[in-house]
């Protein structure tokens, strides 16, 4: 460690503030004569009109994320242009707040402005490795949570027409998406949930937009996250665990169109469908409706052919049944005619026999009746007695001296009762 400075002061022999600052400056510059490589996160960055770049570097705590060390830093105009271009060429993005960097710094101390660091070099490979490390940590955490495939397993509505879009209203990518949607032949319902797409507040802004959509999920078929091209640092927003976790567990299918063709974020990986660009999202949605329309046309053709086939088969069956009905009807009529004729002949035969039988019986009855007629009885030698009251059939109704008529076959005798003998 460094040697302790022995400076003697008394109330009578004190130091001025300027003297103290000069001593601190001399001590620091003596102790840190050579530049040092230091890793830190850029919390603020500003390039002034003169071309100098002023930064604020922080080191955050591992648990709560609060700064545990902080320092001002500067890149002078003479070095900033070269250093910035070197970083862009290597990483594809500009120096910006939120990036973790490895910089070579010279310790500086000023009597008025205090402690600061002068950045004289930067290692872009460290930043690239840090971005990749954070991506891998996010992926591992999502897999450990068991949510990696949740959005992949959802099914898109058929067709997918009601789209909730998370994007900035002024972003070129959103305008490209809308223009491509308008070129399609379909009427999509697009609802924009405006969100910041860069800056310190972008992460929470995207999450808030997703939560707003989730509150009315039944009104939408899918979610599209739209963000045009940008620097690697800008697009690293979508490597955020919080955004990727919300997308992975979102109740609706999420379609992403973030960045350029080569850009693949963790959010892209967990989304239901990843498209290369915002325009590609519009194309994907239109092609999905195309497939549904083609499917409906194909089904319609199949139904038409099936209906025609069914009608043709039904027509054949109807003709067959009609011919069979005619044949069976003719056979049944012929059979019934034969049965009716037979039955008629049988009835006629039985009726004739019955009539003959009844005629014979009537003749016999007639002969019997005729045999009991008065003429026949009289011919047998019998006589009929009549009185004024009618035919006499009993002696009890006759008195002695009464006149009666004795009717014979060939005449009537008048007689008078002389005597009555009762049996």
- According to DSSP, the residues that pair with 108 across neighbouring strands are 116
Integer Cα distance of 84 and 153 in angstroms: 43
Q: Let me know: does 391 contact 385? Beta carbons within 8 Å.
A: yes
Domains of the chain: 17-122 (2.40.50.140), 137-290 (3.40.50.280), 376-416 (no CATH)
Mean pLDDT confidence for 101-124: 90
**Average of per-residue pLDDT values in the chain:** 88
The 10s digit of each residue's pLDDT in 182-194 is 999 899 999 999 9
Question: With 90 as the cut, is the pLDDT of residue 94 above it?
Answer: no
Integer Cα distance of 293 and 327 in angstroms: 50
Integer Cα distance of 149 and 271 in angstroms: 8
The 10s digit of each residue's pLDDT in 44-70 is 899 999 999 999 999 887 666 678 899
Q: What pLDDT is recorded for position 4? A: 66
Q: What's the chain look like in SS3? A: CCCCCCCCCCCCCCCCHHHHHHHHHHHHHHHCCCCEEEEEEEEEEEECCCCCEEEEEEEECCCCCCEEEEEEEEECHHHHHHHHHHHHHHHCCCCCCCCEEEEEEEEEEECCCEEEEEEEEECHHHHHHHHHHHHHHHHHHHHHHCCCCCCCCCCCCCCCCEEEEEECCCCHHHHHHHHHHHHCCCCCEEEEEECCCCCCCHHHHHHHHHHHHHCCHHHCCEEEEEECCCCHHHHHHHHCHHHHHHHHCCCCCEEEEECCCCCCCHHHHHCCEEECCHHHHHHHHHHHHHHHHHHHHHHHHHHHHHHHHHHHHHHHHHHHHHHHHHHHHHHHHHHHHHHHHHHHHHHHHHHHHHHHHHHHHHHHHHHHHHHCCHHHHHHCCCCEEEECCEECCCHHHCCCCCEEEEECCCCEEEEECCCCCCC
The 10s digit of each residue's pLDDT in 119-156 is 999 988 887 777 777 888 899 999 999 999 999 999 99
Structure tokens at 382: 């019998």
Integer Cα distance of 369 and 367 in angstroms: 5
- Least confident among 111-125, 145-159, 405-419: 405-419
């Amino acid at each position: 460690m460094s040697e302790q400075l022995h400076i003697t002061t008394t109330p009578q022999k004190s130091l001025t503030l300027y003297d103290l600052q000069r001593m601190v400056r001399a001590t620091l510059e003596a102790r840190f004569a050579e530049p040092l490589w230091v890793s830190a996160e850029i919390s603020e960055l500003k390039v002034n009109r003169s071309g100098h770049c002023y930064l604020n570097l922080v080191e955050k705590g591992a648990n709560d994320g609060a700064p545990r060390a902080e320092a001002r830093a500067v890149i002078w105009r003479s070095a900033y242009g070269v250093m910035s271009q070197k970083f862009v060429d290597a990483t594809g993005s500009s120096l910006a707040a939120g990036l973790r960097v490895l910089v070579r710094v010279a310790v500086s101390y000023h009597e008025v402005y205090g402690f600061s660091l002068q950045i004289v070099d930067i290692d872009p490979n460290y930043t690239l490795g840090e971005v990749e490390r954070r991506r891998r940590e996010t992926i591992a955490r999502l897999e450990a949570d068991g949510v990696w495939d949740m959005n992949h397993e959802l099914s898109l509505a058929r067709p997918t027409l009601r789209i909730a879009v998370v994007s900035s209203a002024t972003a070129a990518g959103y305008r490209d998406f809308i223009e491509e949607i308008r070129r399609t032949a379909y009427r999509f319902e697009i609802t924009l949930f405006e969100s910041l797409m860069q800056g310190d507040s972008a992460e929470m802004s995207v999450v808030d937009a997703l939560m707003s959509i989730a509150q009315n999920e039944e009104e939408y078929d899918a979610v599209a996250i739209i963000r045009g091209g940008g620097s690697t640092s800008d697009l690293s927003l979508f490597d955020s665990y919080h955004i990727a976790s919300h997308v992975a567990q979102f109740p609706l299918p999420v379609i992403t169109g973030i960045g350029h063709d080569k850009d693949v974020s963790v959010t892209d990986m967990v989304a239901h469908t990843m498209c290369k660009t915002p325009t590609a999202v519009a194309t994907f949605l239109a092609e999905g409706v195309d497939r549904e329309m083609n499917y409906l046309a194909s089904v319609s053709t199949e139904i038409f052919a099936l209906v025609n086939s069914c009608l043709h088969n039904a027509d054949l069956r109807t003709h067959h049944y009609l011919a069979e009905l005619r044949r069976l009807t003719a056979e049944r009529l012929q059979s019934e005619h034969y049965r009716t004729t037979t039955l008629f002949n049988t009835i006629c035969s039985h009726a004739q026999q019955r009539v003959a039988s009844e005629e014979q019986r009537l003749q016999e009855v007639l002969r019997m009746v005729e045999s009991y007629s008065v003429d026949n009885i009289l011919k047998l030698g019998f006589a009929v007695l009549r009185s004024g009251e009618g035919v006499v059939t009993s002696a009890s109704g006759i008195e002695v001296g009464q006149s009666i008529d004795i009717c014979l076959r060939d005449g009537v005798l008048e007689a008078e009762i002389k005597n009555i003998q009762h049996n």
